[in-house]
Structures are given as structure tokens and as C-alpha cells.
Amino acid sequence: MKHVPVALRWLLPVYILLALLYNYAVPIWESPDEWNHFGMAHFINVRGELPVQIVGQPRPYGYGQEGSQPPLYYAIAAALIAPFNRSDYDEREANPHAIIGDPGGMGNKNFMLHDAVYPPPLRGTQLAARFVRLFSTLLGAVTITAVYFSARIIAPDKAWVPLLAAGLTAFNPQFIFISASVNNDNLVTALNSVVIWQILVMLRDGFNTRRSALIAVLIALATLSKLSGLVLMPIVALAGLWLAWRRQDWRGLFTLGALVVGVWAVVAGWWYARNLVLYNELFGTQRMLDIFGRRPPPSWQKMLTEELEGLRISYWGLFGWFNVFTVRPFYWIMDLVALLGTGGVLLHLWRNRRQAEKLFRALLLVLFLAIGAASLISWTMQTSASQGRLLFPFITAGSTLLALGLSSLRIPAPAIVAPLGLFALAVPFVTIMPEYAPPGPVDSLPDSATPLYARFDDIELLGYETPQQRYGPDDIIPVTLYWQPVEQSDLDYSMFIRVLDPTDTIITSVPSYPGYGSLRTSTWEPGHIYPDYYPVRIPDDAIGHWPLRLHVGWWKFPEGFSLDPVDTDGQALSSVIFEGGAFAASDDAQETVTQMIDPVDFGGSIRLLGYTLEDNHLRLLWETIGAMQEDFTVLIIALEEDYQVGGNNKILAQGDAQPPLPTRYWREGERFISDHILNLPETLQAGTYPVYVGWYSTLYPARLETNCPDNACLLTIIEQP
């Protein structure tokens, strides 16, 4: 222990504790492709052989496209899980409404259904998977160690650089997340990192047969772990050529080359030869694409915007199945750190432009990272793969260069490492666990909820909560429903929330298991009241303005039959719909009328600006001059003769109507149109008939005050021929 640097003595234990926390926080199968990776290990353990990838044929145990990957990680994992009883392996069930690959989605982050999340049941397959996660965590510790010693060789005169490089790796939330999951990236990342470290040692100390043999074995193992290990080949070749030229040691170069080629042929060559025999290709990638799926190459504009954004975000922290963001400022801060580090690297290269050894070592890391990035871009052009974790096999170069750049700008390591470590500690509590924890039951319907009863088979709706406010495009409507299961259901039902416009057109719909995917009707407990929260996003292309109505119901997915609601007396309900505020994409400021008038104010809140009268259709243009607390109705009447206060005024036609957007949602300065129909009697004699306008409350018998008799103003005269 005395030979372990002080920085690693505290860095590695803290990293391991963080990885254990992430292991706990992330339910099994909730990291990218984890169930496929474990499925591959399970297959090897059960069958004792590698799978043959045949398009269109089922792949038992769910290994999917991972059956095309080099097998070393899976072979080790297969040995690790051998002592565990995995008879429950096939009991896992996917979430049919999971939103995968979309971090902007509002829920259903869980790829699988989990009946017990915190604490997890440590038995059977669950325990086996978490044990393999521990192996991944140890591989992460190897990576951190290799990064530290690589950085110490790159910057021997800068004490902060090794600590900063190792800290940027150990406390990267995404690195911890992947290191606490079943994923073959962990093995190739560790092996690549150790190889880079040993190459740097070789450049410093010269050729050594033992070291050359070690490098050869590690490269062979890396290429047997994942194709990312092949990137080491040009790096070790270039490093060997440089060293041989600088020291005129061509024998050392020959020994290195012979060992790398020979060991690779013996240790890893068989797997690549197998690909040639089975799939007529060396790497097996085309067969992998046949199974996983191809996509048309994205445009370079998309690559430099959407794809690059996803890559840089997911390098630092995008959890779940590429669908769980952490707090946005974190990404901005790390973007700034990366930009500063890049600038610092350029400064370092310029300062050392005449120091060949230093310059070459740094440029070798740049080349390693560049080749790795180029290989990822090539893969991304063929399938969706813009995930930051795919750069981790080159993290020794990335972290070391970033630390070198920041150090060149005199940024001390603790200023980066300490906050990053604290944030990594917070992520499981702030970001990860809230996405998977099911809602806990409550004792009764809260006072803030609106009671609303409906029964769907064995499920009762007791009430709901949603703010009665105005929303716009891309806004989120927070909806909480209160469910009470009457009896344990034998089936898992899906519920839905639909946003309806006045014509009953569905504006958006949220299908889900209860708890936004975290509960099941076959497992929740009868008699408990479950608050079920859903943030419902309005589409960003929604138009118009109208009252929002929310429609809720239940059905069996995917069969399609619905559960018909009934009321407290058991009488059938056609549907369960309640108010959800109002939607307004904009006001009617662009609308025009044919006749503008001297403005008339009503109640100090609404102003009439003009109208259009065509046949029996009257259109009024209003402007809001003050806030309103209720929904007023426009009074429109056509009289037989001029209005008489206190008189017996005979109404010939009446066209009262509320505007499309209820008035309590109007905002000062906005303009809105209201439309009215005035159907005069067909037997009406020729003459002129006055039309009056006003506003009245539906809560109490009063009109909004204006300077007209009885608060009804003459608008126009209808001439009846």
C-alpha cells in the first residue's frame, strides 16, 4: 500500500463507494443494453458455447445483437454467475410503454417492470447481475489507476495533472454509471487504458521484452473484448516506430511487432476467423447491423448538432436507456470545462513544440482519441450509436488531455475534482432514484384534490389534481390522479390521459402503466390510495385557443379491450372527462373585422373594438384591459325596438356565447374574437331592429358595468327587407 500514490489511496475507495451507490440506485436492466449483455453471459453459462447470429431466428435469453460482440467479457461474466440460481431469469417483463432513447420524455423511463426497487431483492438473477456489476466496478478501478499513471508520465513535472485526470474519470457520473452495470465497455476500457499506460512507459524507458509481451497480451485481450480494442493497433505501431527511430533499436521494434501479431493470432485470431467462416466478414459488424437495425446516414448538419449534442451530454451523464437527464447546468459547466481543456491542450502543444518527446506523447494521445472518435462516427453513420460511453475505451487519452489542458491554464485539480465528486454523489438521489421509485400510497384524498368518482372494473378513481391555468405549446400540464384498487387484478392494465379540444379531437395522449410505469395493477395493494402523477406535454405545434379537457380511462395493452367506467350507483358512464385549464397558442391579434367602432369598455376588463355582421353571423373583436377571475358570457340580443330601461323589451333573437378561450385566461393587451348567431324570425316584418351587446356572469345575475343603460350597449341596426 505504501507504493500506491496518496491520490489513489483516497480516490479509488471513494470511487468504489460511489459505484456501489449507483449499483443500488439503478435497477437491473436499466442501463443501456444491460439485459442483452447479461443475456449473453447467461447463454454462454447455460449452453457452454457462443451463439451463431442468424437473422430472423429467435435469440434465447435476450442477448440480441450482443451475440455479435467479442466474447471475453461475457465468458468471464458467465463464470462469475455460475454459482447463482437463475431459474427466475425468464420472469422479467418489459415495460410496454417505455420511452427509450428520448431524454425529453416525461415518464416511463424504466425499460423493465420492477415490483420491488428500493431495496432490491438480492436473490436469483437479481443477485447474479449485481455481482457482475461488481466485476465491472473493479474494472473501472483498473481504468482509473491506468489513467493516473499515464497522466504522470505525460506530465511528470505537474503534480496536479495525474490527480485531475484520474478524478475526471473516477467522478464522471456517466463513467460510474457504466462501471456499475453489466457492460462489455468496462473490460475493453480497462484493457485499453492499461495498454496506453504501458506504451507510454515504453516510450519513456525504451523497449523491454517483458513489457512488449505484456502489451501484446493486453492488446489481444482488448480485441477479444470489443472491437474498440483494435484502435490500439495503429497506436502501438506508431509508438514502436517512433521509439525505434529515436533510439535506433530496430530489434526491439521487431520483437514488439512479432509478439503483438503472434499473441493476437493465438489469443484473439480464432474469433475473427470464426466470423469469416460464419458470416463471411472479419468483424461481424454487418451481421450485427442486420439484427440490431441500420439507418440512413444522417446529414453532417445533423451529426454536428443533434448527434454531437447527444454524444457530449451522454459522455458526462445521461442515464437509464439514454432517457434520464440530470440537471441542465451540469452539462453547461462540463461544456465549459471541455472548452477550457481543449484550449489548454493547444497551448501545451505550442509551448512544447520543440520538445520532441513531450510533444510526441501528447500527440499520440490525441491520435488515439481521434481514431476512436472516427470509428464511432463511422459506426454512427450506420446505426444509432451516438452515446458517450462508446468513447470510454479511449478515456485515458480524453481525461489525460483534458487534465493537461486545464493544468496549462493553471486551474488547480481540487477546483474540478471536488465539485465533480460531490455532484456524482448527488446524482443517484436527485436524478436516478426518483425516476424508478413508485409513488407511495396516501391515507386519504388530500384537500387540494377535486373529488371525482368512477370505477373501472376493480379500480376506483377518487379524484384528481391539476392547476386550472393557461397553457401554451410545449407546456406541461401537471396531472395527479388518485386511484384505489378494490381487489387484486389478475392482469396488468394500462391507463391513459388524453387532452381533448372542444371537438373531442385528441391533442396528445399519455399511455402508461400506473405510476408512470413504476406500478402494476397485478401487484398494487387493494384498499390503498395511490397518487399517480403525470406531466402531460402539449405538442409544440398545437394551435388555437380553447378550454382543455382531460379524458382518462383504462384498457388492456396490446389486446385493446377497454374497461368501461361506472358511477357510484353502478350506472354506466360514457367517459370520464374533467377540466384541465385552457390552451392558447396565441390571441386573435391578426384577425380583422369590417366595422371598427369607438371602443366600449365593460367592467374595466374588456373593451369592444369592432364587429362584422354578415347575414345572421356576428363576429366581435375584443381587447383585454384587465384581469378577470371568472368566465363571462357575451350577451347578444336583437330587439323589436330600442331598449327601454324597465320596459317590456321584446327579444327577437339571442346569440349569447362564451368566447372560445374562457375569459379568466385572457391576458391584458390581448385581442380575441367571439362569434354569435342571430336567427331572426322568418315572419318578421320589414324594418330596422337594434342589436345590443354586453357581458354577464354565470355565477350571479349581474352584467359587467359600462356606460350604457342596464349595461347593454347598442351595437348596430339590422335592416330587414
Span 479-538, pLDDT tens digits: 999 999 998 888 999 999 999 998 999 999 999 999 999 999 998 899 999 999 999 999
Confidence class for position 374, pLDDT limits 50, 70, 90? very high
Per the DSSP assignment, residues forming a β-bridge with 493 are none
Task: Tell me the pTM.
Answer: 0.89
Helix or strand or coil: residue 365? helix
Span 130-152, average pLDDT: 98
Cβ atoms of 234 and 371 closer than 8 Å: yes
- Measure the CA–CA gap between 75 and 85, rounded to whole angstroms: 18
- Measure the CA–CA gap between 78 and 91, rounded to whole angstroms: 19
Fill in the amino acid letter for 5.
P
Span 551-571, average pLDDT: 92
pLDDT score of 18 more than 70: yes
Least trusted range by pLDDT, from 174-178, 215-219, 463-467, 539-543: 539-543
Confidence class for position 685, pLDDT limits 50, 70, 90? confident
Written as one string, the DSSP assignment of 176-210 is: HHHHTS--THHHHHHHHHHHHHHHHHHHHH---HH
What is the signed CA dihedral for 411, 413, 418, 424, rounded to 10 degrees? Answer: 100
- Measure the CA–CA gap between 546 and 556, rounded to whole angstroms: 31
Span 585-595, average pLDDT: 88
Closest CA to 216 of 262, 170, 277: 262
**What per-residue confidence (pLDDT) applies to 2?**
62
Span 158-174, average pLDDT: 96
- Measure the CA–CA gap between 272 and 88, rounded to whole angstroms: 34
Closest CA to 576 of 656, 495, 690: 495
Least trusted range by pLDDT, from 15-19, 416-420, 555-559: 555-559
Helices (H) and strands (E) in the chain, counts: 19, 21
CA angle 551, 553, 559 (to 5 degrees): 130
Q: Helical H runs in 123-180? A: 124-154, 160-170, 173-179
* Residue 671: other Cβ atoms inside 10 A: 16
Phi, psi of 698 (to 5 degrees): -95, -5
The cell for 321 is 436507456
- Measure the CA–CA gap between 427 and 421, rounded to whole angstroms: 10
The cell for 587 is 390571441
The most confident of the ranges 216-220, 344-348, 702-706 is 216-220
Confidence class for position 1, pLDDT limits 50, 70, 90? low
pLDDT score of 255 more than 80: yes
Span 549-577, average pLDDT: 92
Topology given in CATH for the domain delimited by 595-720: Immunoglobulin-like (2.60.40)
pLDDT score of 117 more than 80: yes
Residues of the chain with CATH 2.60.40.10: 450-584
- Measure the CA–CA gap between 435 and 425, rounded to whole angstroms: 17
Least trusted range by pLDDT, from 56-65, 114-123, 497-506: 56-65
Buried b (16+ CB within 10 A) or exposed e, 700-709: eeebbebebe
Angle at which helices 185-205 and 124-154 pack, to 10 degrees?
20
**What per-residue confidence (pLDDT) applies to 658?**
93
Cβ atoms of 553 and 562 closer than 8 Å: yes
Cβ atoms of 439 and 530 closer than 8 Å: yes
pLDDT of 432-457, one tens digit each?
Answer: 999 999 998 999 999 999 999 999 99
pLDDT score of 199 more than 90: yes
pLDDT of 602-639, one tens digit each?
Answer: 999 999 999 999 989 999 999 999 999 999 999 999 99
**What per-residue confidence (pLDDT) applies to 678?**
94
Closest CA to 18 of 424, 423, 419, 415: 424
Q: What is the CATH number of domain 450-584?
A: 2.60.40.10
**What per-residue confidence (pLDDT) applies to 425?**
98
Span 167-191, average pLDDT: 98
Closest CA to 70 of 215, 260, 269: 269
Confidence class for position 310, pLDDT limits 50, 70, 90? confident
Residues of the chain with pLDDT > 90: what percent?
A: 81
- Measure the CA–CA gap between 121 and 571, rounded to whole angstroms: 43
**What per-residue confidence (pLDDT) applies to 116?**
84
pLDDT score of 588 more than 90: no
pLDDT score of 21 more than 60: yes
* Residue 276: other Cβ atoms inside 10 A: 12
Closest CA to 581 of 670, 671, 475, 446: 475
Confidence class for position 701, pLDDT limits 50, 70, 90? confident
Cβ atoms of 284 and 53 closer than 8 Å: yes
Query: To the nearest 5 percent, what fractions of the chain are helix, strand and coil?
Result: 45, 20, 35
* Residue 254: other Cβ atoms inside 10 A: 14
Confidence class for position 379, pLDDT limits 50, 70, 90? confident
Span 129-135, average pLDDT: 98
Least trusted range by pLDDT, from 204-218, 585-599, 663-677: 585-599
Closest CA to 234 of 394, 379, 382: 394
Per the DSSP assignment, residues forming a β-bridge with 695 are 634
